[in-house]
Amino acid sequence: GEDVEQSLFLSVREGDSSVINCTYTDSSSTYLYWYKQEPGAGLQLLTYIFSNMDMKQDQRLTVLLNKKDKHLSLRIADTQTGDSAIYFCAEAPTGRRALTFGSGTRLQVQP
Amino acid sequence: DSGVTQTPKHLITATGQRVTLRCSPRSGDLSVYWYQQSLDQGLQFLIQYYNGEERAKGNILERFSAQQFPDLHSELNLSSLELGDSALYFCASSERGDDTQYFGPGTRLTVL
C-alpha cells in the first residue's frame, strides 16, 4: 500500500534554511508534490518534481529526490515569517490520479 | 489565487441534514477532484470527475455523491450528516485528469 510520512513540526529562526523531509512507499510514483497551507486557507502548489529528476530548484525552494530511499525533501532558503505554514508532501502513483498526502509538517519561523 | 472557486466558504448545519458544496474549476481544466481534510484522517481523496464522467473513486461514503455538469462545475452532495462529517472539503482541478492539481480555498463544514 501507499503511505506518505512527514515529521509533524519544525521550528527555525528567520533567515535560516528550513528542510522538510518526506518518505513515501509507492515506487511507481511519477510525480511528487509539495503544497503549502496557511491558516484558514487552501492548498497552494509550491513545486513538484518528476521521478526521473534528482533535484529541482525554484527561487528559494530546492527539492531533492532520492528514489532509492524513497525520500523527498524541500529546502527553503532564507526562511521568512511568511513561510510559517503547514507543508504537505504528496505522491501521484502511476495509473492513479488521486494524490496521497502526508500528514503535513508545521513550520514555525521565529523572528 | 489558483483559479479554482468553491462556495460556500463556511457551512453550519445539523445532524441528519443534507448540503451541497459547489466547485468551479480553472478555465480550461476538464477534471475535478474532491478531497476531505479532517483532524483524524488528514487529507483524503473522495472522487474525481473528468469531462462529466466519474473517473476515480476513493474513500467516499455512500451518503456522499458528486456530479460534474456540462459547464464543468461540480457539486458534492452530503446527506444524513453526522458529527464526524465536520471537515474542510477541497475541490481541485487539472487540465487532463492525470496532471498537476490546483486546489480551491475549501468549504468548512460544521455539523452540530
H-helix or E-strand containing B103? strand B102-103
Cα angle: A27, vertex A33, A6; to 5 degrees: 75
Q: Is A87 exposed, middle or buried (0-12, 13-18, 19+ CB in 10 A)?
A: buried
Residues 6+ apart with CB under 8 A from A21: A6, A7, A71, A72, A73, A105
pLDDT score for A95? 67
Q: Over pLDDT 90: what percentage of chain A?
A: 73
Partners of B10 in beta bridges: B108
The per-residue pLDDT for range B25-59, each reduced to its tens digit, is 999 999 999 999 998 889 999 999 999 999 999 98
Q: What are the φ and ψ backbone dihedral angles of A61, each rounded to 5 degrees?
A: -100, 135
pLDDT at A47 over 50: yes
Contact A66, A22 (CB under 8 A): no
Find chain A residues with C-beta within 8 A of B103's C-beta.
35, 42-45
Digit-coded pLDDT (tens) for A55-89: 999 999 999 999 999 999 999 999 999 999 999 99
CA A17, chain centre distance (Å): 14
A interface mutation test: which of B44, B54, B103, B108 has the most A CBs within 10 A?
B103
Task: Tell me the C-alpha distance between B90 and A60, whole Å.
Answer: 27
Q: Check: CB of residue B80 under 8 Å from CB of residue B13.
A: no
| Residue the block writes with cell 457539486 | B75
One-letter amino acid at B26 equals R
**B52: alpha, beta or left, given left = phi > 0 and alpha = psi -120 to 50?**
left
Distance CA A101, CA B104 (A): 16
In B, which residues are within 8 Å of A87 by CB distance? Answer: none
Question: In 3-state terms, what secondary structure has residue B17?
Answer: coil
Mean pLDDT, range B84-103, rounded to an integer: 93
On chain B, the residues whose CB falls within 8 A of the CB of A44 are 2, 103
